[in-house]
Structures are given as C-alpha cells and as structure tokens.
Amino acid sequence: MHIEKLSLFGFKNYEEVALTFSNEVNCLVGENGSGKTNLLDAIHYLSMTRSAFNTIDSQNVKFGEEFFSIRGDFRLSEKALPVLCSYQEGKGKTFKVNKKEYARLSEHVGKLPVVLIAPNDTDIIRDGSEARRKFFDAIISQIDAEYLDNLISYSKYLKQRNSALKRFANVGRTDYELLKIYDEHIIGLSLYINQRRSDFIIDFEKLFQNHYDKLSEGNEKVSIHYRSEASDSDFKELYNNALRKDLALERTTMGVHKDDFRFTIEGKPLKKFGSQGQQKTFLVSLKMGHFDIIRELKGFKPILLLDDIFDKLDSRRIQHLMERVVNHDFGQIFITDAREERTRTILNELKISANFYRVNRGTVIQ
Ligand SMILES: Nc1ncnc2c1ncn2[C@@H]1O[C@H](COP(=O)(O)OP(=O)(O)OP(=O)(O)O)[C@@H](O)[C@H]1O
C-alpha cells in the first residue's frame, strides 16, 4: 500500500500544495518549523482520520482560513483509492473514500495503516503507566476485537464503581450489594484483559528484541515485563482486601487500570538508566514490532513515517536502522530531517535512492 499523491488546501502552514511521491523512500528536508512534520501529519490524517499531534481539528486550519482539505491518492493492491478529508469551521469534518462518505469515521481507521515514529513518542518511555497501557492496548485491540470490547466495558463499570464510592461517602452509607454486582462484572473482564496482555507481551517481546538486537548489534539486553498487581492472584480476594482503602479514598485503587509494562535495559529501568540513544532505539524497536503486527494482520505493509528519527542515534545505529528499513521489506517510507546533508550522506553510503522534497515555510520544491 502506498500514497502516490498528496494535495493540501489551508492545512496548518500550507496554503496550497500538491506532491507526487515515490513508493519507496521520500525525504522531507528543510529548516525547523518549515512544515516537514505537517506533511507527515496530513498523511496521518488520511489514515487515522485525525492529527497525530493536535486532535483539535479547528487548530489545524491555516491561521486566518476557514477550512482545510487533505486529498491523498492511495494504491492498495493495484487498486486506486482516492481519500478526501475536509474540515470546515461550524460544519465539522467529512471523510470520503472513492467519493463515498463514511457514516462513522471509525469505519475508516485501520484500512490504510501508517506507523509513525515521532520525537514526542518517547512519552511511552518517560511518562507514567497510562502512556504504555495506551500504546499496548491500541495494538492488542487491533488484533482482538473482543479485547477492545472488554476494555470499553471495564472502563464503563470502573467509572460507575468510582461514582458509587463517591456517593457512599456523601450519604454516609455503603451499599455492599451494589459493589458486589460491580465487582463481579469487573473481575470477569479483568481476567480476560490480564490474560490477553500477558500472552501478548510474550509474543511481542520476541519481535521487539529482534529489532533492538539488530539496531544495537546485540550488545544490550532489553526486555518488557508486564506488571499487574492482579497477576497470579485471586481477583476477588484482591478487591475484598482493597475495599477499605477504596471506600476511604472514594475510588478503585486496584485493578487492571493500574497495570504497567516495565521496560528494562540490563535488568535496570530504562527510564532511569537508559541513555537518550538507547531510549530512542527502544522506541524505534517498539514501533517496528507494531509494524510487524500490522503487516501480518493486513497482509500488506503500512506506510512508515519517520519524524526526526536520526536525532540522538549514533551513526552505526542510523546505518543499521536504514539498512533494516530498506532491506527488511518495509514499504513506502517518509523521513524528515532538518539536516539535508546528513540524510543524503546516509542514503548515498547505503546506495539507497530516494525522492527529496525541500520544504520552506509552507512551500515544497520537489
Ligand atoms: N493552524 C496553523 N496555521 C498556520 N501555521 C501553523 C498551524 N499549525 C502549525 N503551524 C505552523 O507549522 C510550523 C511547524 O511545522 P512542522 O512541525 O511541520 O515543522 P518541521 O519542519 O517539522 O520542524 P522541525 O524541524 O522543528 O521538526 C510552525 O511554524 C507552526 O507555526
């Protein structure tokens, strides 16, 4: 699958631009703030129906304009697929594929997948457990629709249980029968979520480690551990034991909504002991693992969007990364870099041919 053409009107810092891409490597080069990432974001919009960086559509309309439109001509197994996403102040967003509008935007998500690796993705490593749960939950949900259903139900019951706990504190009386009903639902769902996360990480870690080893020449030992208070224990007992604390704090203090995925390097927490380059290598390997899963699931390769990927990586890791990206049959690739010479040198050394696009304040020279 690849995108052949992209046209923008009034999107972020672009008044009007139309580009034709290579179905292999495309490099977007130019100064900071020129609009390189905005082009990747436009492709992300066409895949995910929203921006990867600013989910408020109105803020993605060019300052002073009233609407934006993003058109992409995709090709999926030889079939042409024109995709049009437009947004107008007051009217909202419409999304059309082959001129046909979707009833719900969610119908489109997953049809033309992209994997984006961007600098602020290091949140997955540096932030609290929520960022990691979100990352893995999104991947598992792509593979297993039942998992997504269970997650949605779990968060619904959790919300209800938390408001009940608040209500009990306000009225000074606890309805134990009601709590029992919530707990039964929550425990059933937790068992599924817990087991699925645990099984998934065992498989995913192998994909991930394979990428990390290749990028780092196998010199560093990294791992991902799924951590759940509830693993190997009786959920019912855990909920009973936590009840006094839950009533005192007026919220559910224990459960799979607190799970974490521990990232380590040489057995130590990556966040504290990993260098910036090692953290970036870890992140890239996580995303490449995600790429593998989508490719397996869909039977075709997602588009790979690499935003400022070279920063913080040493030249050997960059070389291994690029070799992998090109030889490990990744499909269409977009790379942004503020340092054109660096990208040109890397690609020349590896004899990789690419299309270059010089971006300058919302204009692009191909
Ligand atoms: N709604 C908008 N209207 C006009 N300009 C916008 C809008 N949203 C963002 N911008 C502009 O887009 C520019 C940022 O573009 P982008 O993030 O693509 O830069 P970049 O080339 O990737 O830079 P860097 O090399 O620093 O990553 C900023 O100048 C910002 O002001």
Tokens of 217: 């020449």
Q: Which parts of the chain have pLDDT scores under 50?
A: none
Indicate which residue's Cα is closest to atom 19 of ligand 1.
Answer: 33
Helix or strand run (H / E) with residue 4: strand 2-11
Indicate which residue's Cα is closest to atom 5 of ligand 1.
Answer: 13
ipTM surpasses 0.90: yes
Residue pair 192/150 in contact (Cβ under 8 Å)? The answer is yes
Question: Per the annotation, does 241 bind a ligand?
Answer: no
CA pair distance 48, 110, nearest whole angstrom: 7
Question: Residue 356 C-alpha to ligand 1 middle, in angstroms?
Answer: 19
Secondary structure (3-state) at 156: helix
Residues ≥6 apart with Cβ < 8 Å to 335: 25, 26, 27, 28, 306, 309, 343, 354
Question: Residue 33 C-alpha to ligand 1 middle, in angstroms?
Answer: 5
Indicate which residue's Cα is closest to atom 26 of ligand 1.
Answer: 32
Closest ligand 1 atom to residue 64 Cα is: 3
pTM (predicted TM-score)? 0.92
Which ranges of 65-144 would DSSP assign to H, the alpha helix?
123-126, 129-143
Question: Residue 21 C-alpha to ligand 1 middle, in angstroms?
Answer: 21
Indicate which residue's Cα is closest to atom 11 of ligand 1.
Answer: 13
Distances (CA, A) of 326 to 4, 36, 265, 334: 19, 21, 27, 12
Per-residue confidence (pLDDT) for residue 315, from 0 to 100: 87
Closest ligand 1 atom to residue 338 Cα is: 25
Per-residue confidence (pLDDT) for residue 328, from 0 to 100: 66
Question: Residue 32 C-alpha to ligand 1 middle, in angstroms?
Answer: 8
Residue pair 364/19 in contact (Cβ under 8 Å)? The answer is yes
Closest ligand 1 atom to residue 62 Cα is: 3
Per-residue confidence (pLDDT) for residue 28, from 0 to 100: 98
Closest ligand 1 atom to residue 65 Cα is: 3
User: For a substitution probing ligand 1, which of 9, 12, 16 has the most ligand atoms within 8 Å of its CB?
Assistant: 12
Backbone torsions φ then ψ of 364, nearest 5 degrees: -135, 130
Per-residue confidence (pLDDT) for residue 104, from 0 to 100: 86
Question: Residue 360 C-alpha to ligand 1 middle, in angstroms?
Answer: 11
Instruction: Summarize pLDDT for 2-18 with one digit per residue, the tens.
Output: 999 999 999 999 999 99
CA pair distance 133, 137, nearest whole angstrom: 6
CA pair distance 236, 254, nearest whole angstrom: 11
Instruction: Summarize pLDDT for 314-330 with one digit per residue, the tens.
Output: 888 998 888 888 776 78
Per-residue confidence (pLDDT) for residue 350, from 0 to 100: 87
Ligand 1 contacts (CB < 6 A) are 12-13, 30, 32-38, 59-63, 308, 336, 338, 359
Instruction: Summarize pLDDT for 170-194 with one digit per residue, the tens.
Output: 999 999 999 999 999 999 999 999 9
